[in-house]
Structure 1
Amino acid sequence: MTRVLVVEDDPQLARALVINLQARKYEVDAAHDGITALQFAAEQQPDVVLLDLGLPDTDGIEVIRRLRGWSRVPVLVLSARNGSEDKVHALDVGADDYMTKPFSMDELLARLRAATRRRETVPPAPENAVVTTDDFIVDLVAKKARRGDFDVRLTPTEWHLLEILITNPGRLVSQRRLLQEVWGPSQSDKTHYLRVYMAQLRRKLEADPAHPRYLITEPGMGYRFET
């Protein structure tokens, strides 16, 4: 049975979505804020997330960013924001689809089926999202890093940067993508940000920061995480 996580702070709309989905044999969890949604996503491992952007505790864009740090679950945004910039922003940070409110239930169900089909072609995410190297361990769900017996304290920016690299092992992640996802589209030319923060990550995680083994620079192009 397909499991859907509904993230919506409007009680009436959330109830309508849950009833309609359950009537069509979906298994449904509902969260009214971003923190609860992330907890449910980690614990319940949904097949699809239906996400409102206007949440009471955090913006839905931030929920997508944090979710993408450790999960590739399809995210279908349901939002009253109908500007093209809002749609582009949500898709750029990792949403798979975007519907504006009000919407028809038939169209929502069609897009939900399409998202489910796409997920079936993608290998499932590991149940335990822990990355282990010879020098450090990163738990993507708990958002913790350790070197030996000691926790490594990372700033939110350092953590976001590390998440993107670790979830793309062996693949080049462009400077532009990192800047846009971590600092926003208006900062896509600030490459010195990357140099500063990558240096900080290497000092905290690499055994020899001057000769990194894991956080690799591809000059002029971007960075890679090597296991």
Structure 2
Amino acid sequence: MNLPCLRIGLIEDNDDLRDELLFFLRHKGYSVWGAASAEAFWRELHRNPVDIVLVDLGLPGEDGFSVVQYLHNLARYGVVVLTARGGEQERLRGLNLGADLFLVKPINFARLDASLRALGLRLQRGAIGLEGSPVRMDDPHGQWRLEDDGLYVIGPQGQRLALSFQEFGLLKILMRSANQIFSKEALHDLLFQHADTMEVHRIEVILSRLRGKAKVQGASLPIRSVFGKGVVFTGPVQESAARTELR
């Protein structure tokens, strides 16, 4: 991936802002095209591949959150949210669904340019390992094993992701029942058994931290958010981790 020639797709239903962004990004040397809706974006994507997608959340038809989640599940794109919804709840939801960056309108164009270049470099490093071979922590040929001092994927690369106690506890629940969807309320009850009140945002914060740690290493944790249902660990788990009891 040649960083000055990053390919970018833009989904923005505001015609004026879309035109401004397209003009600015092309001026900066990016190869970029735009769409006014998710539906138009999916049609164009088949003809014009991209490396990074800029997504507005408030779209007509399919909303931006759905686009972010689907793109993340494809595991081939950098995803940047551009939105006027600057609340903490929206930010956490966007990051939990797989967004790499969350930028609030009005957009600082200089910051956007710097963020895109940094993300492009991170994507390049994640796709080309130190030896020039692909590195993915959710390699389907490897397995995940949870140890007391961290999370390991068993495979030729032997990557390790260090965890806090709460991150360790949450992953133990999810990995013990891999491919089972847990509501965030259920996860809260299991992880914070003695809490007086239900604070689901604590689960969202832990998930966001986990994904952030993985992204720093150019990795993708096999944890998927299922809209309206909850969270599921979809990667292959070594048997010892599945049998481990939560302490």
Quickly name the TM-score band, shorter chain normalised: 0.5 to 0.7
Instruction: Tell me which residue corresponds to 1:116.
Output: 120
Instruction: Tell me which residue corresponds to 1:2.
Output: 6
**C-alpha root-mean-square deviation of aligned residues, in Å?**
3.2
What code does the residue aligned with 1:108 have?
Answer: L
Instruction: Tell me which residue corresponds to 1:66.
Output: 70
Mapping 1:70-89, distance limit 5 Å: 70-89=74-93
Mapping 1:100-115, distance limit 5 Å: 100-115=104-119
Instruction: Tell me which residue corresponds to 1:169.
Output: 140
Q: Is the 8 A contact 1:38 1:67 kept in 2?
A: no
Q: Is the 8 A contact 1:38 1:63 kept in 2?
A: no
CA shift digits 1:50-73 (9 cap, x unpaired): 110111011111111222232331
- Is 1:182 the counterpart of 2:182? The answer is no
Instruction: Tell me which residue corresponds to 2:36.
Output: 32
The two structures have a TM-score, normalised by structure 1, of 0.59
The two structures have a TM-score, normalised by structure 2, of 0.55
Identity %: 28
What code does the residue aligned with 2:32 have?
Answer: V
- Is 1:91 the counterpart of 2:105? The answer is no
- Give 4+ residue runs of structure 1 displaced > 6 Å after superposition: 214-217
SS at match of 2:76: coil
Query: How far 1:216 moved relative to its partner?
Result: 7.7
SS at match of 1:56: coil
Q: Is the 8 A contact 2:72 2:99 kept in 1?
A: no
SS at match of 1:122: helix
SS at match of 1:98: strand
Query: How far 1:112 moved relative to its partner?
Result: 0.8
Instruction: Tell me which residue corresponds to 2:20.
Output: 16
SS at match of 2:225: helix
Distance 1:38 1:55, change over 3 A: same
CA shift digits 1:183-205 (9 cap, x unpaired): 44x745xx8xx9xxx9xxxxxxx
Consecutive unaligned residues of structure 1, counting only runs of 5 or more, are 125-166, 199-213, 223-227
SS at match of 2:58: coil
CA shift digits 1:1-43 (9 cap, x unpaired): 2111111000000000000011111111111111222333344
CA shift digits 1:44-101 (9 cap, x unpaired): 2212111101110111111112222323311110001111111111111110000011
SS at match of 1:69: helix
What code does the residue aligned with 2:109 have?
Answer: M
Count of residue pairs brought into register by the alignment: 157
Match of 2:61 among 57, 62, 66: 57
Distance 1:40 1:69, change over 3 A: farther
Cα distance in 1 for residues equivalent to 2:23 and 2:238: 50
Distance 1:168 1:183, change over 3 A: farther
SS at match of 1:6: strand
Q: Is the 8 A contact 2:71 2:79 kept in 1?
A: no
Distance 1:64 1:25, change over 3 A: same
SS at match of 2:226: helix
Distance 1:105 1:216, change over 3 A: closer
What code does the residue aligned with 1:56 have?
Answer: P
Cα distance in 2 for residues equivalent to 1:21 and 1:177: 42
